[in-house]
Amino acid sequence: MPGTLVRFAWAGENRGVTTVASLYGPVAEDLQLVEDTLDLTAQTDFLPLQEMLQSVLSRGGKRLRPAIALLSGGFGEYDAQNQVLLATSIELLHTATLVHDDVIDASETRRGQPTANASFDNAATVMLGDYMFAHAAELVARTSHVGVIRLFAQTLKTMATGELRQDINAYDAESASMRDYYARIYGKTASLFETAGTGGALMSGATPEVVSALGEYGRCLGMAFQIVDDVLDFTATAAELGKPVGGDLLAGTLTLPSILLMEEASGGDVVRRLFASEDEGERESLLAEALGSIRAGDILERSQATALEWQGRAVASLEGLTSPSGRGNPQREALEGIAAFVVSRKF
């Protein structure tokens, strides 16, 4: 496990490389068990399905959500077997939503690699996502923890609602309200972070106060994570994003930077014209104009400041949490480190 690499940059420092062991601390070894369980997920008797599963599960990732689930279990009676099952189900659920998102968005690349729907037909890719949802549910059911199983089901409904909000409001320039934006990113992203914190603590039998605190940590961190993602859509390179810059706006999705642009005198007009245009050349020109306006002012700085506010709430929710052993608190330190990483990452 110590050889596994995750790239990140602390705020104010140059981008660097750290090991999972240093970022996730006390659960680095159990994260390897999560990886092993994901590998087993891809082993099926039906070779075409196995090929598809290996294609989407072998791409790695930061594994933030399963790490949070494992770390949250450290505030109670830690049962490695059940914590790993929960953490794996959360990562599998996350990956399944990405598979479906790529079909909906007709995305050809993710993290610089071909998406499943670019490699296979859309119908097969939808069924692949469904299979992964079902397998994630089966993994969490193995824990026999009714409260966690119920939480998993509720989270899946919340995430589906978040996706529906985005799809139904696509290209609707009049839906640019902060309330709608926060509801959407909570559903699509923050709810699963919240489940990682809540579920990990529930699984370990932590006190209700601890469960609530870790759920709040996950919720706020998930909000910060998505806002940073939305900022990166305008600041990172296409190579870093693994997809076109400004892709969300081109797809009709209003994120925090574009909502702030619409609040400016001329910003709303360019977004409305972009959403209304059916001419590819005009759309590219309007996107370039919107990108230029967003980058020229203080919109990105204000958006990043909002992410930092959510990150601050996440860290504040950890105040008072102590390790059951009473000997230091490596879990809390690791959760604080993850929070710092989330708002300082560059891709």
> CA Rg, the chain, in Å?
20
Distances (CA, A) of 255 to 63, 173, 191, 225: 24, 11, 17, 13
How high is the pLDDT of residue 194? 98
pTM equals 0.90
Instruction: Give 3-11's long-range contacts (Cβ < 8 A, gap of 24+).
Output: 4/32, 6/62, 6/63, 7/347, 8/341, 8/344, 8/345, 9/344, 9/345, 9/346, 10/340, 10/341, 10/344, 11/340, 11/343, 11/344
Q: d(Cα 228, Cα 7) in Å, to the nearest integer?
A: 16
Task: Single out the residue of 8, 31, 1, 42 nearest to residue 196, CA to CA.
Answer: 31
| Percent residues over pLDDT 70 in the chain | 85
How high is the pLDDT of residue 146? 98
List of residues 6+ apart from 169 with CB closer than 8 A: 175, 180, 184, 254
Specify whether the CB–CB gap between 129 and 96 falls below 8 A: yes
* Structural domain harbouring 168: 5-344
Task: Return the residue matching tokens 């204000």.
Answer: 302
Distances (CA, A) of 33 to 19, 90, 218: 16, 14, 22
How high is the pLDDT of residue 82? 98
Q: How many domains does the chain have?
A: 1
Specify whether the CB–CB gap between 330 and 25 falls below 8 A: yes
CATH of the domain at 234: 1.10.600.10
Task: Please name the amino acid found at residue 289.
Answer: E
Q: d(Cα 128, Cα 88) in Å, to the nearest integer?
A: 17
Token pair belonging to 338 = 């993850």
Q: What is the 3-state secondary structure (H, E, C) of 222-250?
A: HHHHHHHHHHHHHHCCHHHHCCCCCHHHH
Reported residue count of the chain is 347
201, exposed or middle or buried, with CB in 10 Å at 0-12, 13-18, 19+?
buried
Specify whether the CB–CB gap between 200 and 68 falls below 8 A: yes
Q: d(Cα 104, Cα 99) in Å, to the nearest integer?
A: 9
Specify whether the CB–CB gap between 205 and 167 falls below 8 A: no
List of residues 6+ apart from 149 with CB closer than 8 A: 140, 141, 143
pLDDT digits (tens, 9 = 90+) for 55-106: 888 877 889 999 999 999 999 999 999 999 999 999 999 999 999 887 776 6
pLDDT digits (tens, 9 = 90+) for 17-64: 445 557 898 999 999 999 999 999 999 999 999 999 998 888 778 899
Task: Return the residue matching tokens 């993710």.
Answer: 110
Report, as ranges of residue numbers, the positions in the chain whose pLDDT lies below 50: 1-18
Q: Which residues pair with 16 in a beta bridge?
A: 8
